[in-house]
Structure 1
Amino acid sequence: MTHHIPFDHMHNFMTDVFIGIGVPEEEARTCADVLIESDKRGIDSHGIGRLKPIYYDRIVHQKIQQATTEFEVVRDHLATAVVDGHHGMGMVIAKRCMEMAIEKAKKHGLGMVVARNSTHYGIAGYYPLMATAQDMIGISGTNARPSIAPTFGVENMLGTNPLVFGFPTDEPFDFVNDYATSIIQRGKIEQYAREGRDCPEGLIVGRDGKSKTDSKQILDDLVKGEAALAPIGGIGEETGGYKGYGFATVTEVLSAALQQGAFLKQLIDKDSSGNRKPYELGHYFMAIDIQCFCAPADFRKTAGDIMRALRESEKAPGAERIYTCGEKEYLAGIERANTGVPVNEALQNDIVTMRNELGLDYQFDFE
């Protein structure tokens, strides 16, 4: 049975879990901030559901990630910088990188910071929204362990590689297109598996070129290289799969070439001897100061007018409404403010396991 946990209680719990596994307190709060923002926005694939498998287990059990973050600026030149995260906390690395990009944009109009040797940084949209809050355009992306097959291929080569833009608007929410360049991302499949649901047909391709739907089997097959995600547009060229393939490649290059980081199969978490190793992810962050082009209020008004025109355009028969990027997440935040974070039985077990292993003093209403 699914229970709902208030945001403050969940945020405090996640913060204390991060502290309990060695993350410094301020950095632990940053990590919890990113995860709870995902839960608030209804992005259930990247919130509390990722705390144990993506962070806790990799630090405590697999020992392929550092709880403390050594943030090293290896190259700094006016509007640009290159950072080495030394396998620390991806959310900490990413937030500091975007802060640097924003500060550089304030001085030079544009700022771009890239990172190497990082780890999973949560929802990509968190970082462009840092820029929009300061009247800037924000852009971010990251590579990831191989999941997507190139068009006409069946081998997982590219990560889910989001390419995310944030624009400030004059509406209660800013535009942010926070999604993977595959039709479905691994986190969503993990969510299906927790809920005992199959994946829809046509999203995953096996080595035989046929679609796969068993969520738990897909997760195993992705690790073994026996399955791959289809890029946005689908399998083959007829429905435009080459477009998603191209966008995924753009993010792969921007996440690896500028910072001279790992890419494609180098991002697998095992070395040539089969031993576990860090994922060595790369990220990129851009901030563009709008006031260098026009008054920020004018930009916000124009961007808002575009969104409103799109939503007010003619709807398909039977459709209730048209949405723009960021709107559904904004509405989810309003709804969840009253209900909290939904936690199914599998997540309840993860929460209890982490609490008990760390000896934390927390009680939840599902117990």
Structure 2
Amino acid sequence: MKWMDEYPGTYKDCVWVGFDLLESFMRDALVAAGVPRPDAEIVADVLIESDKRGIDSHGIGRLKPIYIDRIRDGIQDPVTRIEVLRDRKTATVLDGHNGMGHVVSKKAMEMAIEKARNHGMGMSVVRNSTHYGIAGYYALMAVKAGMIGITGTNARPSIAPTFGVENMLGTNPLTFGMPSDEDFPFVLDCATSITQRGKIEHYDRIGKALTPGWVIDAEGGTRTDTAQVLKDLTRGLAALTPLGGIGEELGGYKGYGYATVVEVLCAALQGGAFLKALNGTDAEGRKAPIPLGHFFIAIDIEEFIELDRFKATTGQIMRDLRASKKAPGQEHIFTAGEKEHLAWLLRKERGCPVPEALRKDMETLRSWYGLPYAFPWDA
């Protein structure tokens, strides 16, 4: 399949590393940074799931720059104190107190699933959290319970609103997971911008220029200089474009609108921070906590129809879409979750491709904490 030939994991400068080693290394590095071992296991599980699914922007590549560096900078607490602010029949409000976003998020989705078992539907919202990894992890929790899972999170300002050039909204994924009778569920896990900051970070690690139209500057022109864009996004000198792109002609207002929906559900329901309050800097320009919000919804399918019938219909929809007429030169139509499944089939024996920049990060963490690990590239 042509897509597999172009798959990001085939970059020539990468060393393939087994998942067991990577997950163990991440867990031990987090523990060394002050994260309690049970919590470190949750974080490592979320990150390795991203790498297993081929989502290189949100796996081990974020261990040092997003989590451990923030802990060391004193803007993220390695110990997660989960406070239940409100607990109703179908609704929960949690405060993550600037701890590990993965930990409070897993708890939040567990509570939503339990409420759905008891009442058909459940929803949890979280405030004062931090980056929670791939949104699909939490949607899949519901799928594994035979339910529909929906989640979203706000993030540091990156997206400019339609007709604007200032980064106001986060990349704000709106994510759905639904069980099917296929070998993989339907999982739509994507940002409401054309691309996300994590993918730009991945492009920077592998030395790849950005696609024109992904990023705009203060004059509304497009940017492709990956490394400088990463710096300018935090300085407000560049912004991501919403799904649909610049202006209204290709529907950029739709991505802008969906990003705003996520912002509201991640801030207004739980009394959390939003927009520029998530910049990650204080009034003097110093690094500061980024108090993110999340939401999690679980829907018990059996309240509506037998689970097997739902799975069969969902699977048939996916099969019919893939069997539809293809554009000239195209050999396959994909459905959501399929590429991640194919990535897993490719990687389950080989592991994760680790580019040079990420190898240096891993070596730095090993040195900082004296971790007794031998990496495949050491020789």
TM-score relative to the length of structure 1: 0.99
1: distance between equivalents of 2:139 and 2:280? 28
Partners of 1:182 and 1:41 lie apart in 2 by 21
SS at match of 1:140: strand
The equivalent residue for 1:192 is 203
Structure 1 position 241 matched with structure 2 position 244: no
SS in 1 for 2:86: strand
User: Which of residues 294, 302, 314 is equivalent to 1:303?
Assistant: 314
Distance in 1 of aligned mates of 2:205 and 2:139: 30
Alpha-carbon distance in 2 for matches of 1:260, 1:352: 40
- The residue that corresponds to 1:345 in the other structure is 356
Tell me the residue number matched to 2:346. Answer: 335
- Which of the numbers 204, 211, 236 marks the counterpart of 2:215? 204
Q: Would you say how many aligned residue pairs link Structure 1 and Structure 2? A: 366
Q: Quote how far apart the aligned CAs of 1:274 are.
A: 2.2
In the alignment, which residue of structure 1 is the partner of 2:64?
52
**1:144 is the counterpart of 2:155:** yes
CA distance in 2, matches of 1:12, 1:320: 39
% same residue: 60
Structure 2 letter corresponding to 1:95: K
Q: CA deviation at 1:276?
A: 2.0
Q: Which residue of 2 aligns with 1:294?
A: 305
Which of 82, 92, 114 aligns to 1:103? It is 114
How many Å separate the matches in 1 of 2:353 and 2:60? 9
| Pairing 1:348-363 to 2, within 5 Å after superposition | 348-363=359-374
For residue 107 of structure 1, report the CA deviation from its aligned partner. Answer: 0.6
Write the deviation string for residues 131-174 of structure 1: whole angstroms up to 9, x where unpaired. Answer: 01111000000000000000000000000000001100011111
Deviation at 1:278, TM superposition (A): 0.7
**SS of residue paired to 1:45:** helix
Alpha-carbon offset, residue 77 of structure 1: 1.0
Offset of residue 24 of structure 1: 1.0
How much has 1:275 moved relative to structure 2? 2.7
Partner Cα distance (2:97, 2:331) in 1: 48
Q: Distance in 2 between matches of 1:362 and 1:334?
A: 27
Say if 2:3 is the partner of 1:3. no
Match for 2:250: what amino acid? T
Q: Where do 1:161-172 residues align within 5 Å?
A: 161-172=172-183
Partner letter of residue 22 of structure 2?
M
Alpha-carbon distance between aligned partners in 1 of 2:166 and 2:325, rounded to the nearest angstrom: 41
1:254 counterpart residue number: 265
Where does 1:77-226 land on structure 2 (aligned, <5 Å)? 77-226=88-237
The corresponding residue for 2:54 is 42
Counterpart-to-counterpart distance in 2, 1:9 and 1:194: 21
Q: Using the alignment, how far apart are the partners of 1:342 and 1:275 within structure 2?
A: 34
Give the RMSD, CA atoms, in angstroms: 0.6
Supply the distance in 1 between the matched residues of 2:316 and 2:213 (Cα, whole angstroms).
36
Aligned to 1:24: 36
Distance in 1 (CA, whole Å) between partners of 2:30 and 2:311 is 37
Q: Quote the offset at 1:273 in angstroms.
A: 2.5
Q: Secondary structure at the match of 1:164?
A: strand
What letter matches 1:152 in structure 2?
F
What is the match of residue 15 of structure 1? 27
Q: Unpaired runs of 5+ in structure 1?
A: none
State the TM-score, normalizing by the size of structure 2.
0.96
Q: By how many angstroms is 1:193 displaced? A: 1.0
- Structure 1 runs of 4+ with >6 Å offset: none
Query: For 1:138 and 1:335, how far apart are their aligned partners in 2?
Result: 26
- Mind listing any 5+ residue stretches in structure 2 that lack a counterpart? 1-12
